[in-house]
Amino acid sequence: MPPPAASPTRWLFGDQLGPHFLDDDTSPVLLVESRRVFARRVFHRQKAHLVLSAMRHRAAELGDRCRYARTSTYREALAGVEGPLQVVHPTSRAAVALVLEIAAVRDVDRLPARGYVTSQADFAAWAQGRGEQRLLLEDFYRDVRRRTGILMDGTDPAGGRWNLDADNREPPPRGRSTLGVPEPRWPEEDEIDQEVRADLDRWERDGDVEFLGRDGPRRFAATRAEALAALDHFVEHRLDAFGPHEDAVLAGDPWMAHSLLSAPMNLGLLDPLEVVERAEAAYRAGQASLASVEGFVRQVMGWRDYVWHIYWQQPESYRDRNRLNARRRLPDWFARLDADATEAACLRHTLGEIRDHGWVHHIPRLMILGNYAAQRGWRPDEVTSWFHRAFVDGYDWVMVPNVVGMSQHADAGVMATKPYVSGGAYLNTMTDHCGGCRFDPKVRVGDDACPFTAGYWWYLDRNRERLEGNQRMGRSLGGLDRLRDLEALVAQEEKRGSNPP
């Protein structure tokens, strides 16, 4: 009898750490900690910590069946593994290319992607069925609801409406500095975290790597147990408050009622389907309002899956799109998270939060950071790289569509029908930053001119021809024509350029 064939080794990437990336309890597992990844780019210190902590925790949980290779490169690690390999579809194009190269010279079984609610085949079928119609998030999301039965009563959406955005999107509550919901559940660091911290300190001292931002207590789940505890805590204590103020910003309440689950979901510690099922159960049990649960489910099962599919559905050149011809370099003060460089309260506060935590919620990302980058005409590829490196939950698949498409409108409208740019009036309504700012959101020219208000008109003026065909921009462009001080405004903003306001 021939000897039994060796079980293939499951080669896990560092964002495939949950149980759903394995199919049995015995087959060997390979995890590769490649220091070169950190040497090549300047990541936020807390992001490096989280990823290494999560990988090392997973290796410790898997025990003897896991080979944890600390090598300079993936190839070096793979050379030490005999027999066939199995890989679940990785999450970046670069990692797929690596797998294909390895598969050209040895036996590699490539498995479909996991960690999303819908498969790539599901999305392809949906997209094909639309013919020439745009791939709208809203239509995709409804299709996923029907397909999964989440928040459905038979063939109807729960509560009779698909979209409860109108019940959400409220400005921040007046006269309050916090939403008043319990803080998120914070994980407790252990000896693995201490080891990671010591290693990162040493690498930095030795000059092997450089980091962005400050070190600090680990805020995000690094194990499955911590991720489940964070999910439970969110659903029980915070989900009900998620919807109404999901688009609002309070300087004194960085977390608001957001879930902080992007990091554990993107590490593969939580499966998004279990996350939305848990949220739906809270609605069915009367523990959370439909508006909040629908808003949350839309983010996870709608936006997250949609962004993932757009990353693969668009050609590789998508990441280099620059439809608005934004050519200015990302300035150093912004790139290095130098919050103290600027007097603009919203920018100062947001950069400080990223420096300290490697995280801010969706609205500061989109309407403060992304909005400012677009207004200043910073290069979308540099903005994408910066977001990827500065945020604990940043990965190529999620950053490219969110930055190139959603926030910089560099893709000519694949992701969003109009650019997400706005002046200080929007920020004055949806945040509480302006009250304490030395600029005035109503002023566009002069010493007190809000850089967002002036920047908004400057952006429209620069991009007038490129945006003219967009019906949704008609009113804004009409407003531009009525500005009497446009010339002075443009001269002022050209002078300000990328300098810190």
Q: Write out the residues near ligand FAD by the rule CB under 6 A.
A: 258-262, 265-266, 296, 299-300, 303-304, 307, 361-362, 365-366, 370, 387, 391, 393-394, 398-399, 402-403, 406-407
- Answer yes or no whether residue 433 interacts with ligand SF4 by CB under 6 A: yes
Q: Which residue, 87 or 300, has its beta carbon nearer to ligand FAD?
A: 300
Smallest distance, Å, CB 436 to ligand SF4? 8
Nearest to 117 by CA among 309, 313, 259, 362: 309
* Smallest distance from ligand SF4 to CB 409, Å: 20
- Tokens for 162, please give them: 């698909």
Say how far apart CA 392 and CA 106 lie, in whole Å.
34
Residue 58 interacts, among ligand SF4, ligand FAD, none and using kind-specific CB cut-offs from 5 to 8 Å, with: none
Interface with ligand SF4 by CB under 6 A: which range of 302-310, 358-366, 400-408, 424-432? 424-432
Window of 205-213, 296-304, 409-417, 434-442 that interacts with ligand SF4 by CB under 6 A? 434-442
Using CA atoms, how far apart are residues 265 and 272, in angstroms rounded to an integer? 7
Burial class (CB in 10 A: 0-12, 13-18, 19+), 131: exposed
Take residue 104 and report the two structure tokens written for it. 């050209």
Nearest approach in angstroms of CB 245 to ligand SF4 is 18
The window from 20-28, 164-172, 413-421, 436-444 that contacts ligand SF4 (CB under 6 A) reads 436-444
Q: Which does 437 bind (CB under 5 to 8 A by kind): ligand SF4, ligand FAD, none?
A: ligand SF4
Q: How many other C-beta atoms lie within 10 A of the C-beta of residue 468?
A: 11
Q: Could you tell me where the DSSP H helices lie in 10-155?
A: 35-40, 45-62, 74-79, 93-103, 120-129, 137-148
Considering CB distances under 5 to 8 angstroms, the limit depending on partner class, which of ligand SF4, ligand FAD, none binds residue 258?
ligand FAD
Q: How far apart are CA 162 and CA 59, in angstroms?
A: 42
Q: Which does 406 bind (CB under 5 to 8 A by kind): ligand SF4, ligand FAD, none?
A: ligand FAD
Query: CA 163: distance to chain centroid?
Result: 22
Q: Which tokens go with 127?
A: 């997209």
Residues facing residue 250 across a β-bridge = none
Binds ligand SF4 (CB under 6 A): choice among 243, 352, 441, 455: 441
99 or 239: CB nearest ligand FAD: 239
> Long-range contacts of range 285-290, CB-CB < 8 Å, 24 or more positions apart?
287/235, 287/236, 287/239, 287/240, 288/235, 288/239, 288/240, 288/242, 289/240, 289/243, 290/151, 290/158, 290/159, 290/164
Candidates 53-61, 80-88, 274-282, 431-439 — which segment interacts with ligand SF4 by CB under 6 A?
431-439
Q: What's the closest the beta carbon of residue 500 comes to ligand SF4, in angstroms? A: 11
Is position 452 an interface residue for ligand SF4 (rule: CB under 6 A)?
yes
| Residue 451 near ligand SF4 by CB under 6 A | yes
By the criterion CB under 6 A, which residues form the site for ligand SF4? 344-346, 424, 427-428, 433-434, 437, 439, 441, 450-452
